[in-house]
Amino acid sequence: MQTAQTLSSRSAPPSRKRNVSFAWLGVVPFFLFAALFLILPSGILLVGAVQDKQGNFTLANFAGMFKGVSLGLVAAPSQANLLGLTFPLPFTVDFQSNSMINAYILSIQVSVVTAFLGGVIGFLLAYAAVLGGLPKFVRSALLTFSGVASYFSGVPLAFAFIATLGRLGFVTVLIRNIFGFDLYMTGFSVLSLLGLVLTYTYFQFPLMVLVITPALDGLKREWREASENLGASAFEYWRHVAFPIILPSLLGTMILLFGNSFGAVATAYALTGGNFQLATILIFRQIRGEVLQDPGLGYAVAVGMIVVMALSLGLYYWLQRRSERWLRR
Amino acid sequence: MKRIPLFPWILIFLGFLYFFLPLIGTLDFSLRLVKDQITLEAYKNVVTSARFQNTFTYSFIMALWTIVAATLLVTPTVYWVHLKLPHLRPIVEFITLLTYVVPAIILVFGLIRIYSRPPLSLLESEIGSDFLLVMGYVSLALPAMYRSVDAGLRAIDVRTLTEAAQSLGAGWRTILLDVIFPNLRVALLSGAFVTFAMVIGEFTIATFLARPAFGPYMANLGQTRPYESTALTIISLALTWACIGMMQLLGRGAQGQIAGTR
């Protein structure tokens, strides 16, 4: 019986109507590929993350990631350090320096800052090119360059920034020769966190330009005229009309940029040689067998990254749905 | 009333400064191998080195395989979903998004774990490792390829074309190769260029599968030969530029890369 079915499925052109449809056979290769090279690899990490060395089920690996963290929201005021800027916090959060969770915190900090920076820069550039009353060629040049720059990443990008902002870099030397001022005397280094942020932002902002330009194109002239007729100032028009319309796609793109930076490893590795304990660098070194004697802990860190990425993608879709619903009204 | 838009000009100027300074800096650096002289010596050293030629050829071939595999995997699937299984579209789309959720470093971590031990010990042979590398690259290229082909198929009336071909007596091979493929030529070419730009200098997956690829070679060179490595940067940027330029010539515009090979 089963052989008969397999045979008929192989010989029957799927177009002809049968009692049982074999149309699904056409997508088998794709799903097989996805299972073998996307789902299975992630799945095996999840399995590894919930096993101890003997192969028994455990959640100790995830607990291990939080080892040394005392999230005792003590009412004592403290300061949070975000890329050199300090912010006052109303409570004390205490992280032990070797805790895995620190890698996440650093990764998330870098990703949030570069997503925000890239988002703002990209938005301002698109705004200037679309609504700034500049000649047409500026806009097409900007889009072309953004298209290229968004692919310029990884190892070559890191080299480019070392050649530009390194100790003997082009800009460093230029500033020294023109202004007689040494960037590196201020404590700046391209190999520092700030250097990493500047480098990441290079592949972040073009993406925002590419996404937000069509959205700005979609702002109808009539809306502005209507607001002006009703006595709105330019600021009020932006505050109450234009900005709310583009805000969801602005935020949505920033979330994509967040993930873009969160999963990045080649750029950071080539730039700093793995000095910074980003989550991706931690996994990089884990695969090499340099850190973490405990393999289960490595899997847990990897699974944690997948969770962060999945959450950010979910948030993105939620925002998109909201913006669509808003536009339909 | 008409005034010079000073503020927008300043913004654009600063933006282009940010864009171009690293490129100028790299170009300048790559020309200074010999002290107090502008020279192409670094480029000459790179291009004539056997390691460069071998790794570049290797990555080039792997990129071509990736394009072939991604095309063969994505095109029939998306076509079939358009034609027969529209209810599967969200699932297929979801799978292409998994690439975003699982960054390259995580993907290769999982790949190593599965395929370095029985029953699927692909990594024990050279050809198996190459195969795995191409499959990893296909995963990276999946979203771009899918978007490209999906947009291409939306632009043509798949159902009518298929039924017209069928009523003229065409078989499935004829329909796919002589009717659908030619209509998708632009979409496929643009997907191919994006894929090429993404994987030619890919570092993470190639490193951990221990492949003699261009990306790891570049990273390696950076630690010992600063001038040669910036020359290499310019070369690889020119390649990217050519690929994206071809894509824009094809009229697809630039989509920008999300996740992938950072």
pLDDT in tens, A72-130: 445 555 555 555 556 565 555 554 455 678 888 889 999 999 999 999 999 999 999 98
Chain A contact set for B226 (CB, 8 A): 162-163
As to burial, measured by CB atoms within 10 angstroms (0-12 exposed, 13-18 middle, 19+ buried), residue A102 is: middle
Segment A46-61 shows an average pLDDT of 83
Q: Tell me if B84 and A264 make a contact (CB, 8 A cut-off).
A: no
Q: Which of A27, A33, A156 faces B218 most closely, judged by CB atoms?
A: A156
- At B217, list the tokens: 């070679």
Q: Tell me if A266 and B215 make a contact (CB, 8 A cut-off).
A: yes
Which residues have C-beta within 8 Å of that of residue B247, sequence separation ≥ 6?
Answer: A147, B189, B190, B193, B194, B253, B254
Residue B1, in any domain of the structure: no
Is B202 within 8 Å of chain A by CB?
yes
As to burial, measured by CB atoms within 10 angstroms (0-12 exposed, 13-18 middle, 19+ buried), residue B182 is: exposed
- At A87, list the tokens: 């912010």
Is B172 within 8 Å of chain A by CB?
yes
Is B92 within 8 Å of chain A by CB?
yes
C-alpha–C-alpha distance, residues B233 and A75, integer Å: 51
Per-residue model confidence as pLDDT tens digits over A12-49: 454 544 456 777 888 899 999 999 999 999 999 999 88
Contact yes or no for A162/A226 (Cβ under 8 A): no
Q: Tell me if B110 and A40 make a contact (CB, 8 A cut-off).
A: yes
Residue B94, in any domain of the structure: yes
For residue B198, what is the nearest residue in chain A, using CA coordinates? A151
Please tell me the total count of domains within chain B. 1
Per-residue model confidence as pLDDT tens digits over A124-179: 999 999 888 888 889 988 988 888 888 888 899 999 999 999 888 899 999 999 98
Per-residue model confidence as pLDDT tens digits over B187-196: 898 889 889 9
Contact yes or no for A201/A117 (Cβ under 8 A): yes
Given a cut of 50, whether residue B30 has pLDDT beyond it is yes
Per-residue model confidence as pLDDT tens digits over A176-197: 999 888 888 888 888 888 999 9
Domain holding B66, by residue range, is 40-249
Runs of H (alpha helix) within B3-49 = 6-30, 41-48
Half-sphere exposure (Cβ direction) of B207: Cα atoms closer than 13 Å: 25
Is A317 within 8 Å of chain B by CB?
no
The pLDDT of residue A9:
44
What are A89's strand-pairing partners? A78
Residue B75, in any domain of the structure: yes
Residue B122, in any domain of the structure: yes
Q: Tell me if A170 and B112 make a contact (CB, 8 A cut-off).
A: no
CA distance B12 to chain A (A): 6
Chain A contact set for B24 (CB, 8 A): 164, 170
C-alpha–C-alpha distance, residues A160 and A174, integer Å: 16
Count of CB atoms within 10 A of residue A183's CB?
18
Measure CA A161 to chain center.
Answer: 20
The pLDDT of residue A11:
46
Count of CB atoms within 10 A of residue A57's CB?
9
Q: Which of residues 105-124 of A touch B (CB under 8 A)?
A: 121, 124
Q: Which of A48, A125, A143 faces B113 most closely, judged by CB atoms?
A: A48
Domains in chain A with CATH codes? 97-291 (1.10.3720.10)
Residue B54, in any domain of the structure: yes
Residue B195, in any domain of the structure: yes
Render A215-273 in DSSP notation, one character per residue. Answer: HHHTS-HHHHHHHHHTT--HHHHIIIIIHHHHHHHHHHHHHHHHHHHHT--HHHHHHHT
The pLDDT of residue A5:
43
The pLDDT of residue A56:
81
CA distance A171 to chain B (A): 7
Is A173 within 8 Å of chain B by CB?
no
Count of CB atoms within 10 A of residue A318's CB?
13
The pLDDT of residue A98:
57
Which residues have C-beta within 8 Å of that of residue B238, sequence separation ≥ 6?
Answer: none
CA distance B204 to chain A (A): 6
Q: Which of residues 41-60 of A touch B (CB under 8 A)?
A: 41-45, 48
Contact yes or no for B21/B219 (Cβ under 8 A): no
The pLDDT of residue A53:
78
Q: What's the mean pLDDT when you consider all of chain A?
A: 81
Is B95 within 8 Å of chain A by CB?
yes
Render B114-131 in DSSP notation, one character per residue. Answer: HHTSTTS-GGGSHHHHHH
Q: Which CATH number does the domain housing residue B91 bear? A: 1.10.3720.10
Between strands A78-82 and A85-89, the pairing is antiparallel
- Positions of E strands within chain A: 69-74, 78-82, 85-89, 92-95
State whether residue B259 is helix, strand or coil.
Answer: coil
Q: Residue B240's closest CA among A296, A154, A44?
A: A154
Residue B91, in any domain of the structure: yes
Letter for the amino acid at B53? Q
C-alpha–C-alpha distance, residues B62 and B50, integer Å: 18
Residue B13, in any domain of the structure: no
Per-residue model confidence as pLDDT tens digits over B97-144: 888 889 999 999 999 989 988 777 888 888 999 999 999 999 999 988
| pLDDT cut 90: percent of chain B above it | 45
